[in-house]
Amino acid sequence: MNTMKNTEVRHVDERKLTETAREISSTLKELEELLIAKNQYYGDSLSDPTYIFSSPHNKEHLAIRQYNMCVRIDDKLKRIKNAGLTEHTLDSLDDLIGYLVRLKMTFK
């Protein structure tokens, strides 16, 4: 069985996209637009935090950002666990994906 590691770069042949792959692409594009719009509307708290309830500590700054993302992820997971996935909680699913993307960004 062939496997591909997440770190391997592969070229995507647009001519060979299945319907599922096209849906993945469309969904990710929608999420990309949502995340960028929220970033513009609410401000870039990941790269320019306000430090109202926390303060940066040089080496600890990255760990604080990662911890804050994990707290937000837990909050969204708890809401989904308690309310279930419905049309009323899909925004939490989008937020969860957004926080996971932002958490991944802190490792770059």
Query: Sorting pLDDT into bands at 50, 70 and 90, what band is 55?
Result: low
pLDDT at residue number 42 = 85
- Pick the more confident residue, 64 or 18: 18
Distance CA 29, CA 35 (A): 10
pLDDT at residue number 92 = 92
The pTM is what? 0.73
Structural domain spans, the chain? 16-105
Distance CA 95, CA 55 (A): 24
pLDDT at residue number 56 = 60
Query: Sorting pLDDT into bands at 50, 70 and 90, what band is 66?
Result: confident
